[in-house]
Amino acid sequence: MDGRGRSRVVLSVVGARPNFMKLAPLARQLAQWRGAEHVIVHTGQHYDWEMSEAFLQDLGMPRPDYNLAVGSASHAQQTAAIMQRLEPICVRVQPDIVLVYGDVNSTLAAALVAAKLGISVGHVEAGLRSRDWSMPEEINRVVTDRLSDLLFIPSRDAGDNLCAEGVPSERVHFVGNVMIDSLVALLPAVRRRNGRNRHALGDGPYIVVTLHRPANVDDPATLQELLVTLSELSEERQVLFPVHPRTRARLHGLNWQPPNNALVLLEPVSYIDMLSLVMGSELVITDSGGLQEESSFLGIPCLTVRPNTERPITCKVGTNRLVAAQRAAIRDAAHEVWGRRCDPAPVIERWDGRAAERIVVVLREGAWAGSCHT
């Protein structure tokens, strides 16, 4: 309750696949806070079944109270559409705080709307930096953090970034990684799912691949290089490749088909299915942010096909390694880590399944109320 005896209203804005995994544990914790009302807005930034609705089922989340249904568009069009459709909801609901998650366009759009309406902003997964301004996500991260009153960071290096940018320390809260909260909560279901049996993989080792970043899939030469690399690796290991819709369109444009039965293209899989596949794999090759974290927590070697990462702790403490989008670099790195799963997995500070609890403690203390952008 606030000082007037009114329930605190927390409004969460999500729009893309990773956002749901970050919201789910927090939604469960907020449901236990009797003095709060939690309103969920789904922007519809990712709108196909596998990228949103299926995750609500896997994560045991309530359906959103609002769906803005913005769909895909250019960055400017999508951000503008979210802002136009979210503003009247904020005016109607009058939240005490708007929580935004990660680094997608929905994150930035919601932070802008709230800040301009004088509503406090809380950024879940704040402070991450790749320092690569060619990535739209980096722009979203930096601007969102500048607008936020509460910055919930997943690791100490994120706090160092914010300190270097002049963010007051009282706004920064080291809570841990909410993505890991979801993983921990679902581990029993993941183990029961048994991705190896589900996809008839037999007893041999296999690799899990995800690729969707524009730098990797939009340039035909780079994508061809990666496809040749995967084809070569499939001569040594089975390769499972759940294909993102963006990547599927690029493969169709190249008229490319797998060269053998060991390189298997899958439709996008649910979160539990993906975790089950990763848990049983020998290696992950990805350009995703979340998989860098999840593979580190599970002790699975990971090659991230990017020149940089906003999650350097996964390279310093975890199992992650950056590699160039080049055949020799990926092949040589893969050969180095064959059979080198970490058991036990690395321990990363506060990646313990309790980040959402820590966030709600901060929200309940309520010291942020009325301090918007001072």
| pTM of the model as a whole | 0.93
Predicted pLDDT at 71: 84
Is pLDDT above 70 for 147? yes
- Between 94-98, 151-155, 228-232, 268-272, the lowest mean confidence (pLDDT) is in 268-272
State which H helix or E strand residue 238 sits in.
Answer: strand 238-242
Predicted pLDDT at 373: 41
Give all domains of the chain, ordered by start, each with its CATH number.
Answer: 8-176+351-365 (3.40.50.2000), 185-337 (3.40.50.2000)
Is pLDDT above 50 for 5? yes
Rounded mean pLDDT of 133-150? Answer: 96
Q: How far apart are the first and last CA of the chain?
A: 23
Q: Please tell me which residue in 42, 199, 212, 244 is annotated as part of the active site.
A: 212
How far, in Å, CA of 309 to CA of 15, rounded?
Answer: 22
Mean pLDDT of the chain: 91
Q: Is 212 a catalytic residue?
A: yes
- Between 84-93, 162-171, 261-270, 291-300, the lowest mean confidence (pLDDT) is in 261-270
Supply the DSSP string of 151-184, one letter for each residue.
EEESSHHHHHHHHHTT--GGGEEE---HHHHHHH
Predicted pLDDT at 325: 97
| Partners of 9 in beta bridges | 37
**57 φ, ψ to 5°?**
-70, -50
Predicted pLDDT at 234: 96
- Between 50-54, 68-72, 363-367, the lowest mean confidence (pLDDT) is in 50-54
Check if the beta carbon of residue 162 is closer than 8 Å to that of residue 145: yes
